[in-house]
Structure 1
Amino acid sequence: MTGHSLRVRAIAFALGAGALVFILALVATGAGITPDGAGRALIAATICGAMCWAFAEHTLAGTAAALDTAIQRLRQAADGDLTAPVPEQIDRAVPGLAQTMRELFDQVGSNLNSAERLALFDAVTGLPNRLHFRRTCDRLLETLSDDGSSALFFIDLDRFKLVNDTLGHASGDILLSMVAQRLRDVAGRFAGMADDGSAAHPLIGRLAGDEFTLFFPVVSDAADALRIGHGIHAELIQPFDVEGQDVRIGASVGVALRPRHGQMLAELMRAADMAMYRAKGDGRSRVALYTDEMALAAETRMQLERDLRDAVEHDAFSLYFQPQIAAKDGRVVGAEALLRWRHADGVRLPTEFIACAEETGLIVKIGNRVVDEVAETIARWARIGIEQRMAVNISPRQIDHATFFRRLRSALRAAGAPAGLLELEISETLAMTCSDDVISAIRALREDGATVAIDDFGTGYSNLARLRELPVDRVKLDTSIVEHVAVRTEARAIAQAVIGLIHGLGCTAVAEGIEDEAQRDVLRVIGCEVLQGYAIAPPMDEVTFMRWVAAQPSIRMPRPALRA
């Protein structure tokens, strides 16, 4: 309410009071409305009105001043000042307003504190979140001397997902809070002293999921940093008691040093992250210090990914074919289709890029292109009278999705390719774990005439009961079983036993990785029906493969004009 409006109200109050006194004076004197009586009543009314106006003006002026002060204080609160006291002037003039303002400031302050905590701290562990950690660490780095040494630790918990999957996310959150407390303990135990004698407190943060980070502003050298890293690792490999369950996880720890590996936090984070991945790659539950070799490996990996994306975009992949022959008479009974990358530096094998393709998800696009190429090739072979099967490897990323097999089935039908010329090769491990939906999709292809082979048999864990349930026609011995079969008695015994097991399942035994004639002869004698390897022929492009097959004395092949 403005001072002007209050002044108007004071005048109105005074006039009203004066009018009331004027009427009462006339009534009280009984003089009636005569000039003399009216004059005396008017004098009384005027004196009363003046006194009332003075009183109201004084009171309302004080209230107006208090309200103006309240408005100014509220503006200060809007600018962020919630701690200054409410002025006494407001308390004296409008005590109810003063109390309301105090309650409002307390509530807003509490809400802001809660919002700030949610924005800056992790709700599960109470540690600074990624944003808060980075901001605090950046500010701290600006205060450190250039010749001092610091260490950043990047920590990734091992087997944490297993805890979530088996015990539930609530137990996982309890475990994370316990990890945070152990990291606090480590930080307190290893906290050093700055040159000026003040405590150099480490910073701890939870970046995301099961990733944590520690920054020690002061370390003596790399050996000191590694000592801390091993202390972190030793603390986290100890069992956790999670709601009565004995839980063991461990951690992979990457270490980066300032200034050796960077001055800025972004540089240190990148280096510590690389070191952590090296620790995981070396077997997990380890501590690794960043090296320049890691940077080179990371750059090589990034270049591979860039080249691979470019290859997918420009369809720089093609199929090579390695013959499979009958051990009994040397007849060509099929060929394994092998993926090759036509790189600028030469043809690259799948071992050089499949892992990267699977990690980046590019394997899906590559696999879809291979599906189309396989369907087109089988259709082309069928048109010229070729009856040999084409075996195609299925990647782990693809076997988890029944849609891949349904797409393959659709591609064969669209191309007019007989499914009887297709063989799917699935690794032993994947065959044991693939879903019922995938098995159903594979069975549908098999009903169309396709055959199914278990690849790399003998290296994984096989549940024989499940193996009998799978729609399998052929089983391929792993190369580790074939490798010493011609020179070691125990290797031959193992190979013969595995072949007997395969036959017992009603399947054909196939040996790959045949490197010499001796292996070929031994495997034929002990009952292996199909052979594949460099001792037979290397993988070839389609034109070369067709010429090779046509030249074999045990088979007569048409000599079609094939595209290069």
Structure 2
Amino acid sequence: MPGRSRRSAAPIPVTAGRARCTLSFAGSARPTLNLSLSNPCATTSKVDDEGVATSMAMAGHKKVRLLGLATAGALATPLVAVIAVPRLRLESLLIATLPCLAIGCLLATYWLIRVRVAISAAVERLESASRGDLAAPIPPESTAVTPRLAYAIDTLLARLRDDLSQANDSAARDALTGLASRAHFLRQAEETIARMPADGAAALFFVDLDRFKAINDTRGHACGDRLLAKVADRLRAITSTVCPDGSLIGRLAGDEFTLMCPTLDDDATIDTIGQAILTTLEAPFAIDGASIAVGASVGVACYPDHGVTLRDLMAAADAAMYHSKAGGRARVSRYDAKLASELDERNRLDRELRAAVRHEQFALAFQPQIALADGALLVSEALLRWRHPTQGLRPAAEFLSRAEITGQMGAISDWVAHHAAITAARWHREGRAGRLALNVGRQQVDDTTFLARLMEAFADARAPLERLEVELPESVAMSCSPAALAMLATLRRAGARITIDDFGIGESNVQRLRALPVDRIKLDRVLVRDVAVDHGARTILHALVGLVHGLGCDAVAEGVETDAQIDVLRVMGCDAVQGYAIARPMEDEALARWIGVNAARARA
């Protein structure tokens, strides 16, 4: 139109569902509204200047007035339209677009509902998987509407099934021997007992290797592992040849194995199986070019005579096995009334020991060690005692082994470290002579954190580490880990002395001795016992004293009980002695009095 400025086309997109509307202005032309709706029944409508729409469809032509009363007809017509509307009012524009908006909203709502249902079904499937159901299929509504999500969930569950299967297989088998693991054996044995008929019978064999610890200590853990694998092979052969069908065999822990034979109530067969185990394991094992003999002790418990639960049977078989060891090893023992009494005693000891740890019913006794040159006090060895409420003082040998088995050793060791540090600090303040010696076993040495806690206890008590001497058995010194050796070296650099105890009865390696952070070596009492009466004993001990001095260490004789032994040891050049000939273990107050008397005797 003349006088009206030309404006460039400016499409304004409006979308709803699958409808598409475009409002544009081209120069002086009338504003045009393009409305398209995806529909197979394509229809085109044109609105003239009077507001009359001409609809052209495949079926024919018809006119519909959009701006009048006939609008309902236009709303009901499916359109793919180009509508030209002059001076379009807002009300007319809304009326023209409502069909598209309504259909789009309906389609969007429909798909949103389907997607929500599909996702809810997928979430429910994941929830069922979290409760352990990994086998059910993915819901079809999820597969149809959200296929990628369904595929991801299905792939995840398949991988979980595979991983779980592998984990179950790994848990069921002992990695070293291939036998049933402890958990798997116990589960199978319990299921076997649960299926046992009223008149059923079974036998449980508890097998423990006799010399495995010494082999492991002297030849190394790698050799010990290969030995265990060969032992498992032999036991597996016994199970398949001598035992009845359905027998179970597993490795409980370390060098302990179990064998359960259902439907076995024949005493002769039980004896045959037990002797087969002994004979098979007594034969030497060829490992790394060496012939290694180990042997075993066997305990047997029978269902239902010795227990109707697996717990009772295991306890009975374990007690019988310990009876075999106490009787000289390489034996088969069956549970009986005497063993039942011993088991009751052991259970009572365990209960009382737990109470002793809880109430700190312990004490330290001290045995002095003197220099042979001048009789001066060098060391006071701390020895653990249990102040039993009814039985008085009990030596460590009566309860420490049970403490290790029942898991009480850590708490007892910490108690000893704490009170030893307090005692050493008091001796230092009082100016008392001598160091305080502590015995540490394999469990404490292998747990390097104990040695760190020991140093911390001395620091907290303000006791100088020069007051501490750590004694470890020869077998432990020959086989402890590099980490343990590094911790011992740290203790030594901080001022503590390191001593090898019980030397001369194990399998020491001189090359390893040279590399150990050691200051003193205590010769075992077995070597000292006959030194005053036997020439051979004197010759051996004299040679060992020379070896110790050659290593740059002090030689200490323990278990000295007579003055004659002291005289011989002095001639040999032994540096120090300890034993009943010097003094018996005593409490701290008695030790203080002994020190005073000994000092007066030395001056005289």
- TM-score when scaled to structure 1? 0.65
Q: State which of 545, 557, 569 in structure 2 corresponds to 1:511.
A: 557
2:332 to 287, 294, 319: 287
Count of equivalent residues: 420
The within-5 A match list for 1:357-506 is 357-506=403-552
Task: Supply the distance in 2 between the matched residues of 1:125 and 1:395 (Cα, whole angstroms).
Answer: 31
Query: 1:10-31: per-residue Cα shift (whole Å, max 9, x none)?
Result: xxxxxxxxxxxxxxxxxxxxxx
Give the drift of 1:246: 11
- Structure 2 equivalent of residue 541 of structure 1: 587
Q: Secondary structure at the match of 2:196?
A: helix
Letter in 1 for 2:301: A
Whether the 8 Å CA contact 1:317–1:342 is kept in 2: the answer is: yes
2:241 maps to 1:185: yes
From the superposition, tell whether residues 271 and 535 of structure 1 become closer, same or farther in structure 2 (CA, over 3 Å): same
1:354 to 400, 406, 409: 400
Instruction: Give the 3-state SS of the residue equivalent to 2:247 in structure 1.
Output: strand
Q: Structure 1 residues 365, 218: CA separation in 2 closer, same or farther (over 3 Å shift)?
A: closer
- 8 Å CA contact retained: 1:238, 1:248: yes
Per-residue deviation, 1:360: 2.1
Paired amino acid for 2:422? E
State which of 284, 296, 301 in structure 1 corresponds to 2:346: 301
Match runs of 1:33-72 below 5 Å: none
Identity of aligned residues (%): 40
Q: CA separation of 1:316/1:183 partners in 2, compared to 1, >3 Å: closer, same or farther?
A: same
Closer/same/farther in 2, CA of residues 357 and 218 from structure 1, 3 Å limit: closer
Deviation at 1:279, TM superposition (A): 3.8
Q: 1:131 to 1:320 in 2, by over 3 A?
A: closer
What amino acid does structure 2 have at the position aligned with 1:339?
L
Comparing both structures, which one devotes a greater share of its residues to strand? 2
For residue 225 of structure 1, the aligned residue among 261, 264, 270 is 270
Find the counterpart in structure 2 of residue 319 from structure 1.
364
Secondary structure at 1:140's aligned position in 2?
coil
SS at match of 2:198: helix
Identify the residue that residue 258 of structure 2 maps to in structure 1: 211
Q: Aligned partners of 2:278, 2:544: CA distance in 1, in Å?
A: 43
Return the offset for 1:371.
1.0
AA matched with 2:204: F
Contact residue 531 and residue 541 of structure 2 kept, 8 A:
yes
C-alpha distance in 2 between matches for 1:503 and 1:126: 51
Alignment CA distance shift 1:542-1:440 (3 Å) = same
Please state whether the residue corresponding to 1:351 is helix, strand or coil.
helix
Q: 1:314 to 1:136 in 2, by over 3 A?
A: closer
Deviations 1:47-91 (A, max 9, x none): xxxxxxxxxxxxxxxxxxxxxxxxxxxxxxxxxxxxxxxxxxxxx
What is the one-letter code of the residue matched to 2:575? E
Q: CA offsets per residue over residues 82-113 of structure 1, 9 Å max, x none?
A: xxxxxxxxxxxxxxxxxxxxxxxxxxxxx9xx
> Displacement, 1:310?
0.9
Q: CA deviation at 1:391?
A: 1.3
User: 1:133: how far off?
Assistant: 4.2
Residues of 2 paired with 1:419 and 1:555: CA distance? 29
Give the drift of 1:185: 2.5
Q: Quick one: higher RCO (CA 8 Å, sep 6+), 1 or 2?
A: 1
Counterparts of 2:346 and 2:314, CA distance in 1: 18
**Alpha carbons 1:455, 1:478 under 8 Å: kept:** yes
Amino acid at match of 1:474: R
Shift in Å at residue 336 of structure 1? Answer: 1.0
Q: Which amino acid aligns with 2:198?
A: E
CA contact 2:231–2:281 (8 Å) conserved in 1 = no
3-state DSSP of counterpart to 1:297? helix
Deviation at 1:487, TM superposition (A): 0.9
Which of 139, 142, 149 is the aligned partner of 2:198? 142
Does the residue aligned with 1:334 lie in a helix, a strand or coil? strand
Q: Which runs of 5+ in 2 are unaligned?
A: 1-160
The Cα shift of 1:556 comes to 9.4
Match of residue 100 from structure 2: none
Deviation for aligned residue 1:447: 1.7
User: 2:472, 2:501 within 8 Å by CA — same for their partners in 1?
Assistant: yes
Displacement of 1:126 in angstroms is 9.6
Give the 3-state SS of the residue equivalent to 2:243 in structure 1. helix
Q: Structure 1's 379 and 157: CA in aligned 2 closer, same or farther, altered over 3 A?
A: closer
In structure 1, C-alpha distance between the alignment counterparts of 2:566 and 2:223, rounded to whole Å: 51
Unaligned 5+ runs, structure 1: 1-110, 145-149, 189-201, 558-564
Q: In 2, are the aligned partners of 1:412 and 1:418 still within 8 Å (CA)?
A: yes
- Give the Å deviation of 1:290: 1.6
RMSD: 3.9
My pick for the range that moved more, 227-236 or 359-368, is 227-236
Letter in 2 for 1:152: A
AA at the equivalent of 2:240: R
> Which of residues 577, 588, 604 is equivalent to 1:531?
577
Amino acid at match of 2:441: S
Partner of 1:153: 204
In the alignment, the residues of structure 1 paired with residue 284 and residue 597 of structure 2 have an alpha-carbon distance, to the nearest angstrom, of 66
Q: Alpha carbons of 1:556 and 1:438: their partners in 2 closer, same or farther (altered >3 Å)?
A: same
CA contact (8 A) 1:473 1:508 kept: yes
Q: SS at the partner of 2:463? A: coil
Contact 2:374–2:602 (Cα < 8 Å) also in 1: no
Alpha-carbon distance, 1:249 to partner:
8.2
CA contact (8 A) 1:330 1:554 kept: no
After the TM superposition, which of the residue ranges 346-355 and 360-369 deviates more from structure 2?
A: 360-369
Rounded Cα–Cα distance in structure 2 between residues aligned with 1:431 and 1:185: 43
Shift of 1:392: 1.3
SS in 1 for 2:580: coil
Provide Cα deviations, 1:432-474, integer angstroms capped at 9, x if missing partner: 1112222222222222221111111111111112211222111
Partner deviation per Cα, 1:201-248 (whole Å, 9 max, x = no partner)? x541245554221023442xx445323432455567679999xx9999
Alpha-carbon distance change, 481 to 239 in structure 1, aligned in 2, over 3 angstroms:
closer
Matched-pair contact (CA < 8 Å) for 1:251–1:284: yes
Alpha-carbon separation, structure 1, partners of 2:557 and 2:189: 56
> What is the distance in 2 between the residues matched to 1:126 and 1:424?
41
1:142 aligns to what SS in structure 2?
coil
Assess if the C-alpha contact under 8 Å between 1:323 and 1:532 holds in 2: yes
Distance 1:261 1:468, change over 3 A: same
Please report how far the alpha carbon of residue 171 of structure 1 lies from its aligned counterpart in structure 2 after TM superposition: 12
Q: Which amino acid aligns with 1:230?
A: Q
Residues 477/224 of structure 1: CA separation in 2 closer, same or farther (3 Å cut): same
Give a deviation string over 1:515-557, Cα, whole Å, max 9, x none.
1111111111211121111111111100111011112244899
Amino acid at match of 2:275: H
Q: Structure 1 residue 382: deviation in Å?
A: 0.9
Whether contact under 8 Å (2:441, 2:476) holds in the other structure is no
Query: Considering only CA atoms, is the larger Rg found in Structure 1 or Structure 2?
Result: 2
Tell whether the 8 Å contact from 2:202 to 2:260 is kept in structure 1 after alignment: no
Shift in Å, 1:326: 1.5
SS at match of 1:471: coil
Are the structure 2 counterparts of residues 187 and 336 from structure 1 closer, same or farther at C-alpha, using a change threshold of 3 Å?
A: closer
Name the counterpart of 1:274: 319
1:25-104 to 2 correspondences below 5 Å: none
Structure 2 partner of 1:46? none
